[in-house]
Amino acid sequence: MSAALPVFPWDTLADAAATARAHPDGIVDLSVGTPVDQVAPVIRTALADASGEPGYPMTAGTAQLRVSAVAALERRYGIIGLPEQAVLPVIGTKELIAWLPTLLGVGADDTVVIPELAYPTYEVGARLVGAQVLAADSLTQLGPQNPAVLYLNSPSNPTGRVLGPDHLRKVVEWARQRGTLVASDECYLGLGWTEQPYSVLHPAVCGGDHTGLLAVHSLSKSSSLAGYRAGFVAGDPAVVAELLAVRKHAGMMVPGPVQAAMVAALDDDEHELAQRDRYARRREVLLGAFGAAGFSVENSEAGLYLWATRGEPCRDTVGWLAGRGILVAPGDFYGPRGADYVRVAITATDDRVMAAAQRLVG
């Protein structure tokens, strides 16, 4: 099975990383969107307070976690009418995305649609079950296809592109006519900068009907909980129930203390807004510096990345930046259309962001 999987992309950056680390002032690693800011005290306290519980956690999540998730989705993103049983915690959203086709019983005779520029795990999950993978951004590209699963990602990783509600609504209508499940990766939904992102579960998109829709949400970005592996999926109650049934058999349980921490994170908007402000400031610094260095930044309306180009092969750009002690992700990680782009994370600390800016404009 492993022979069918692509090379892990970041393994190909070893030489560029070594070059960047050799910089006299050290590396500025903008290649991965890893949180660097401390977890909020309210979340850490909840984790610690729950750490003495000895029993197995519930795969379905605690009742309080489901209530908090539903309330946060309505309060933060305008998602209404979602029953508590339509929420399921997951062990980080990468895990869910990688195993979703398996959990749904997708097989070799099925097709999975992914964006043309996409987080690599969408394709990996399809390959794990031997399904056909079709990269497409337009419904006209799909022709008479009746895919089993269609992935959406807005705001996009890597480009930061935002799909408006009209676009999303057309996709939902198309998928429902064909019995296709829409899985919307919404990990960056709360990080809109110049455009307002919408959930596929928003009434302006789905008319309040969540049938055939899943929205994948992560607390890694909004609450700096990447190390906690804290995420959840919400949407069609029947599909969520199917996922729950299989996950119970497979022992896919979010640890109890992490569930308690998730409740604290979902109930508290203050820390989320403070984290958003940190990212906004870092984005402005890097956007100005890359522009001054001759880069064109495209899309990047939301999320944690700048999608930038110098009009040359992306690996040349990676090397040019590595020579200045800056490591970024080459656009070809995400598909052939990224061949002339690099993805720049805005998640470094304030001092490392300033260091990158000085190296670019100095």
The pLDDT tens digits for 234-251 are 999 999 999 999 999 999
347 conformational bin, left if phi > 0, alpha if psi -120 to 50, beta if neither: alpha
Task: Assess whether pLDDT exceeds 60 at residue 148.
Answer: yes
351 CB-side CA count, 13 A: 4
> How far is the C-alpha of 94 from the C-alpha of 140, rounded, in Å?
29
- Give the number of other CB atoms < 10 A from CB of residue 351: 9
Task: Assess whether pLDDT exceeds 60 at residue 197.
Answer: yes
**Domains present along the chain, CATH in parentheses:** 2-38+271-361 (3.90.1150.10), 43-268 (3.40.640.10)
Residues 6+ apart with CB under 8 A from 107: 129, 130, 131
Closest CA to 228 of 98, 345, 91: 91
Average pLDDT, the chain: 95
Specify the DSSP class assigned to residue 38.
P
> How far is the C-alpha of 218 from the C-alpha of 352, rounded, in Å?
25
In three-state secondary structure terms, 339 is coil
Higher-confidence position of 73 and 141: 73
Task: Assess whether pLDDT exceeds 90 at residue 64.
Answer: yes
Residue 234 bridge partners (DSSP): 87, 215
Average pLDDT, integer, range 181-188: 97
Average pLDDT, integer, range 332-338: 93
Per-residue pLDDT band for 1 (boundaries 50, 70, 90) equals very low
Average pLDDT, integer, range 286-303: 97
